[in-house]
C-alpha cells in the first residue's frame, strides 16, 4: 500500500480513538486496528476490517439480544440499503452466522429496546435470515460518540454514498460543534474533501438523486456548483441526455457564467457555426439558423416569406455540376 493509503488508515484509527476516549476497551481496539492497518498490503482492506471485527469480539463483553428489540440508530449516516446485498448477506449469515456483533446502546425512548450504533446492515440481514437473536455489544454511548462511531465504521467500509457522507459531516458540525478542521483530524479526510462534499448539499434534490443513482458523476456535479438552481438542473439534464464529458460540461458552464446568456444560447453558440450561418445567409439571401448541440448534431433552418423565395432555394438544392 502506498504511504498515502497507510496514512489515511492510521488517521481513521486515530479519529475513532479520539472520539471514544472515554471507552478504554473500544479505544484499545481502534489502536490495534490502526497498527494492523500499517501492515496491510494494497487490496486487503477487507481482511484488515475482518481482523478489526474479530478484535471487537475478543476484547468486548458480547451478549445475545432478541432481534425485534433492536431499532435503527438515530444517527445512522447511511440512508440507503441495497436489497440484493442484504439478501446476499442473509444467505451468508444462514451458513456462517453473524461473525461480528452489532454495537448498540440502550434506547432513550424505551429502555427495553436497543438502538443500533454500528451494524444495521447485519441486523436487517438477520431479519431476512429469520434469526430470533443476534450477538450484540452494549455501550452507554452519548449522541456525539454514537454518530462518530457510525461515521468512522461506514467510512472504513466505504459503505456511504457521497451524499450520505456529506450529510454525516454536516450532522457532526451542526449537532456537536465540529469544525471542518476538527473533522479532518478526527476522520482522516482532507479538509478540502470535506469542504467539497458539504457544497454538494446545496444542490437541488433532483441532482443529488441523479448523483447517488450514478446517472452523473461527482466530477460533473462539481462543475455546476456555481450555477443557479434552474441552470444547474438544465445542465444536468443535458449531461444525461447527451452523455456529455466533464470537459464539454465545463465549457458549457463557462459560457453560462462568463457571458450571462441563456442556457439555449450557450448550447449552440459557437464562433465557427455562427460564421457558417452568416455565409449561408449571404449565399441564399434569406435568414438561416444553424443549431449545433454539444455532441455536434443539430439542425439547419431556412426562413422564407413566400413561394417565390422558396423556388430558388429548391433549384439550388437540386443543382448538380455538369
Distance separating alpha carbons of residues 193 and 129, to the nearest angstrom: 38
The per-residue pLDDT for 47 is 45
The per-residue pLDDT for 156 is 65
Task: Kindly calculate the radius of gyration of the chain based on its CA atoms and give it in whole angstroms.
Answer: 29
CB 115 within 8 A of CB 71: yes
The per-residue pLDDT for 79 is 77
The per-residue pLDDT for 259 is 60
CATH topology classification for 3-186: 3.90.1530
C-alpha cell at 30: 481502534
The angle subtended at Cα 125 by Cα 121 and Cα 131, nearest 5°, is 130
Instruction: For helices 180-187 and 162-176, give the axis angle rounded to 10 degrees.
Output: 120
CB 15 within 8 A of CB 188: yes
The per-residue pLDDT for 312 is 81
Give me the residue label for grid cell 459557437. Answer: 270
Residue 99 CB: number of other CB atoms within 10 A?
13
Within a 13 Å sphere around the CA of 120, how many CA atoms are in the beta-carbon half?
A: 22
The per-residue pLDDT for 109 is 85
The per-residue pLDDT for 66 is 94
Distance of CA 210 to the CA centre of its chain: 10
Comparing CA positions, the residue from 147, 155, 149 lying closest to residue 189 is 155
The per-residue pLDDT for 228 is 87
The per-residue pLDDT for 54 is 44
Comparing CA positions, the residue from 45, 60, 55 lying closest to residue 12 is 45
C-alpha cell at 279: 455565409
Active-site residue among 115, 120, 167, 234? 120
191: exposed, middle or buried (Cβ count in 10 Å: 0-12, 13-18, 19+): middle
Residue 239 CB: number of other CB atoms within 10 A?
25
41 noted as active-site residue: no
The per-residue pLDDT for 135 is 93
| Stretches in the chain below the pLDDT threshold 70 | 1-60, 156-158, 258-271, 293-296, 319-322
Answer whether 0.85 is exceeded by the pTM. Answer: no
Instruction: For helices 162-176 and 143-157, give the axis angle rounded to 10 degrees.
Output: 160
H/E stretch holding 274 reads: helix 271-284
Amino acid at each position: 500500500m502506498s504511504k498515502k493509503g497507510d496514512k489515511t488508515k492510521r488517521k481513521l484509527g486515530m479519529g475513532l480513538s479520539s472520539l471514544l476516549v472515554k471507552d478504554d476497551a473500544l479505544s484499545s481496539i481502534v489502536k490495534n486496528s490502526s497498527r494492523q492497518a500499517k501492515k496491510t498490503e494494497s487490496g486487503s482492506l477487507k481482511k484488515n476490517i475482518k481482523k478489526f471485527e474479530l478484535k471487537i469480539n475478543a476484547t468486548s463483553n458480547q451478549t445475545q439480544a432478541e432481534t425485534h428489540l433492536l431499532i435503527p440508530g438515530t444517527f445512522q449516516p447511511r440512508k440507503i440499503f441495497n436489497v440484493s446485498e442484504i439478501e446476499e448477506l442473509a444467505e451468508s449469515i444462514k451458513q456462517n452466522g453473524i461473525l461480528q456483533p452489532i454495537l448498540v446502546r440502550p434506547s432513550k425512548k424505551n429502555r427495553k429496546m436497543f438502538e443500533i450504533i454500528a451494524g444495521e446492515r447485519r441486523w436487517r440481514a438477520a431479519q431476512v435470515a429469520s434469526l430470533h437473536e443476534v450477538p450484540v455489544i452494549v455501550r452507554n454511548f452519548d449522541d456525539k460518540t454514537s454518530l462518530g462511531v457510525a461515521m468512522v465504521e461506514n467510512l472504513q467500509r466505504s459503505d456511504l454514498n457521497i451524499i450520505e457522507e456529506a450529510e454525516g459531516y454536516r450532522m457532526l458540525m451542526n449537532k456537536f460543534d465540529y469544525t471542518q478542521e476538527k473533522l479532518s483530524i478526527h476522520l482522516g479526510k482532507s479538509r478540502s474533501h470535506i469542504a467539497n462534499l458539504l457544497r454538494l448539499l446545496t444542490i437541488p434534490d433532483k441532482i443529488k438523486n441523479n448523483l447517488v443513482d450514478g446517472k452523473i458523476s461527482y466530477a460533473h456535479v462539481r462543475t455546476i456548483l456555481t450555477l443557479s438552481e434552474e441552470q444547474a438542473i438544465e445542465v444536468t439534464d443535458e449531461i444525461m441526455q447527451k452523455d456529455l464529458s466533464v470537459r464539454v460540461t465545463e465549457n458549457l458552464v463557462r459560457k453560462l457564467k462568463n457571458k450571462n446568456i441563456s442556457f439555449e444560447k450557450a448550447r449552440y453558440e459557437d464562433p465557427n457555426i455562427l460564421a457558417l450561418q452568416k455565409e449561408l445567409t449571404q449565399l441564399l439571401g434569406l435568414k438561416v439558423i444553424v443549431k449545433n448541440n454539444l455532441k455536434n448534431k443539430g439542425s439547419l433552418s431556412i426562413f422564407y416569406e413566400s413561394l417565390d423565395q422558396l423556388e430558388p432555394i429548391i433549384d439550388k438544392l437540386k443543382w448538380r455540376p455538369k
